[in-house]
Every structure is written in C-alpha cells, then in structure tokens.
Amino acid sequence: MKHLLEPDARALPDWLASHGLPRYRAAQIRRWVFAGRVRSFEEMSDLPKDLREKLAADFQLWTTRVALHTATDDGTEKLLLELADGQQIECVLLRDGPRRSICISTQVGCAMGCVFCASGLNGVARNLTAGEIVEQMLQLDRLLPVGERLSHIVVMGMGEPLANLDRLLIALGEASDPSGLGISPRRITISTVGLPEAINRLTELESRYNLAVSLHAPDDALRNELVKVSKNIPLADILRAADRYFEASGRRLTFEYVLLGGLNDHLDHARRLAELLRGRTALLNVIPYNPVAGLPYRTPSSSAQNRFLDVLRTAGINVFVRERKGDKINAACGQLRRSVEQAKQAASSESTATPGVVSIAPLA
C-alpha cells in the first residue's frame, strides 16, 4: 500500500486518472488531509463513497501510531510515535502566547554523537521518509482545538536534519505549501550540529528557511569532546558555511549553545564565544542543560548561568536563554523514547511486571 502522506505531486492525480476519476479530486483529498484533520478516508464526507473505498483499498493515510502522549501544565505536549517497522520517534507541540510551534524528528536515533543527548546514545537506525516527517506535523496539528493552527516548525528533534536533507526538504515543501500546512518558510527553522557541505547545499538550493547551528563550545578542542562528529569538522568551516547561508538567504541565523555545568560554562568560555561570534548578525540561544537520567552532565547553577550571560551581553552579543519547557515530560531530544525503552526493559526483567506498561502516564 502507498502512503498518502508521502509527498509525490503526481501520485494521486495519476491514480485518480487510472481509475477513470477526475484529477481535481486530488486537491479535495489534500484539503481533507491538511485542513480537515481526518482520521480515515471514510471521514472525507464530500467524496463519493466508492472513491473513499478505493482510496482505503490502495492507500494508507496514517503509518504511525501514538504510543504515548504526555503533557504538562505549561501547554507542552509530546508524542512518542511508533512507525510501521516498530521504531519509535518523538515530536513536541509547544504553546507560547499565540505561537503554536512544533519540534519534529528526521531520523530514528542520531549519529552525531553529542555526548549529553539521549537521542544519539544508540547511534542512528535509519532516516525517516518524507511522509513520516509530514505525519509528525499532522499528528501534532490534531492536538490543537478547532480554530487553532500550527504557526512555527523547528526541525530540532531526533536526528541530524541535514543528514536526511532530501527528504526533509520535500516534507518542508508540504509544510510551507499553501495547499499543505501553509506555514511561511520564515517560521520554519532547521537546526544542525553543523555539516558545512550540507549547509552549502542549502545555500545553493536557495533555501529560505531559518538556520540554527549548534556550537556548544567556543573552540575545536572542547567541541571535539562534546560533539563526536566534529572531530573532522573545524568550527571555522561551520561558521564560514553559516555566514554564506545568511548572506545568500537573508534569513535569521541562530547559534545554539547547550550550557553544561562545569564543562563549557566558565567565564573564559563565554569570553571566547563572544570573540567567535563578534561582528555577526546572529542570535545566540543559550540552553541550560536538561539532565538525562544516566548521563553524568548537570544543569549549571543560576549564578553560573547569569555570569556566563553577563559576559556575552557585555560583549554586545544578542543572547536569548531558551526556557526549559516540558521538563516533566522528558521534553529534551530523545528522553521520552529512552525513558520508555528503559521502563520496558525493567518491566521485562521483573517477573511480576506487566509487559508493555511504562511508568509515564499517557493522556491518550
């Protein structure tokens, strides 16, 4: 069976034509999928019944299953989605004033080796298909009440987006298409650990998405310890590629810096980070570390955070501290999936435990 959300502009019109049906029905079906929030073809009530039956016979609308749905009182909701092959990925809905932002994944796991991150602990299993990326957007959109729509997308979930660039761009095309989710590229941000060749490719493709580049260290020596993939990627190459992208696209450039207590939060780190970014029209997002059970890293104290930020602000760097939303639901990258895996392992090793029951209470 084909996946209806697998973007292929010709697939549905051609299928309709091959069944002797008018091609214009494709736009009607698309409206149901992107605006109608339907669960099944049966709910596409203005389509002829025999068309709905034919669609159900040949296409799958949803390939993912919500394995777990958690929420906190700050409005953050997180889904653990099970894919058709049993792999699991995470995606998040964040509410901030009128904003309805989502954070989506591009891979099962991650190969970049950021030592503090739960997503990459077991490496990467596979890339997501474009349809699976789109499906996350629609699953999260369905959490909103009638009248509310998604407004922003950050591609910052599990995986390195630029390692799955072709499929990501197809999926983002659906997100920004007026007949898709209709979200402006200005409101879509791709976050990368910093792969210069892929950033250069984005520049050449004249991409108009915002770019966020994760630094996590002010020099190559420390970065090589924190981000394993960076051993062969000097910071200078990453910054050069990011500058080129900014010049060509004019889109907002953000640098990300996860602040790890006692590791990269010294005043000297802040001074050298300010030096590295001086003269750039960019925002620096400082993200106090969200601890992961079993990993030996900690959140810096408030006073250490403030001292670090003071140095940067005094140096004229445009700094923003990212609020830690959704701590209670393992909102940082890969934590929910890991918690569930660990709970399953613990359950299967205890003869009295009920298989499949996890310690996090699902909402739906």
Cα–Cα distance for residue pair 71/48, rounded to 1 Å? 38
Window 292-321: residues binding ligand SF4 (CB under 6 A): none
Q: Which of 91, 108, 112, 273 binds ligand SF4 (CB under 6 A)?
A: 112
**What is the DSSP secondary-structure string of 170-204?**
HHHHHHHSTTTT---GGGEEEEES--HHHHHHHHH
Residue closer to ligand SF4 by CB (options 41, 289) is 289
Has 256 been annotated as catalytic? no
Judged by CB under 6 A, the stretch of 29-37, 43-51, 154-162, 273-281 that binds ligand SF4 is 154-162
Sequence-ordered alpha helix ranges (H) in 142-266: 165-176, 196-204, 220-226, 235-249
Residues counted in the chain: 364
* # chain residues binding ligand SF4, by CB under 6 A: 11
**65: amino acid identity, one letter:** R
Q: Sign of the C-alpha dihedral, residues 76, 158, 289, 217?
A: negative
Write down the catalytic residue from 90, 132, 160, 174: 90
Q: Which of 70, 101, 119, 264 binds ligand SF4 (CB under 6 A)?
A: 119
Cα–Cα distance for residue pair 259/287, rounded to 1 Å? 6
Contact yes or no for 242/280 (Cβ under 8 A): no
Q: Which of 326, 330, 263, 256 is nearest to 292 (CA)?
A: 330
Q: Which two tokens stand for residue 291?
A: 């601890």
110 is an interface residue for ligand SF4 by CB under 6 A: yes
Instruction: Write the binding mask 180 to 209 for ligand SF4: x where contact by CB under 6 A, - elsewhere.
Output: -------------x----------------
33 is an interface residue for ligand SF4 by CB under 6 A: no
Residue closer to ligand SF4 by CB (options 134, 333) is 333
333 is an interface residue for ligand SF4 by CB under 6 A: yes
Residue 153: which region, alpha, beta or left (left: phi > 0; alpha: psi -120 to 50)? beta
Residue closer to ligand SF4 by CB (options 181, 287) is 287
Judged by CB under 6 A, the stretch of 113-121, 130-138, 146-154, 356-364 that binds ligand SF4 is 113-121
Q: Which of 29, 89, 94, 117 binds ligand SF4 (CB under 6 A)?
A: 117
C-alpha torsion 325→330→334→337, nearest 10: -150
Q: Which of 6, 90, 135, 160 binds ligand SF4 (CB under 6 A)?
A: 160
Judged by CB under 6 A, the stretch of 72-80, 117-125, 171-179, 284-292 that binds ligand SF4 is 117-125
Query: From the centroid of its chain, how far is CA 358?
Result: 24
Q: How far is the CB of 99 from ligand SF4 (least distance, A)?
A: 22
Q: How far is the CB of 302 from ligand SF4 (least distance, A)?
A: 23
The H-or-E segment that residue 78 falls in is: strand 77-82
Q: How far is the CB of 230 from ligand SF4 (least distance, A)?
A: 10
Window 338-357: residues binding ligand SF4 (CB under 6 A): none
286 is an interface residue for ligand SF4 by CB under 6 A: no
Counting beta carbons within 10 angstroms of the beta carbon of residue 314, is it exposed (0 to 12), middle (13 to 18) or buried (19 or more)?
exposed
Has 333 been annotated as catalytic? yes
**54: amino acid identity, one letter:** K
241 is an interface residue for ligand SF4 by CB under 6 A: no
Residue closer to ligand SF4 by CB (options 33, 107) is 107
Q: How far is the CB of 57 from ligand SF4 (least distance, A)?
A: 38
Q: Any bridge partners for residue 89, and if so which?
A: 81
Write down the catalytic residue from 91, 110, 117, 333: 333
**144: amino acid identity, one letter:** L
Contact yes or no for 138/183 (Cβ under 8 A): no
Q: Give catalytic residue positions.
A: 90, 333
Residues that bind ligand SF4 (CB under 6 A): 110, 112, 114, 117, 119-120, 158-160, 193, 333
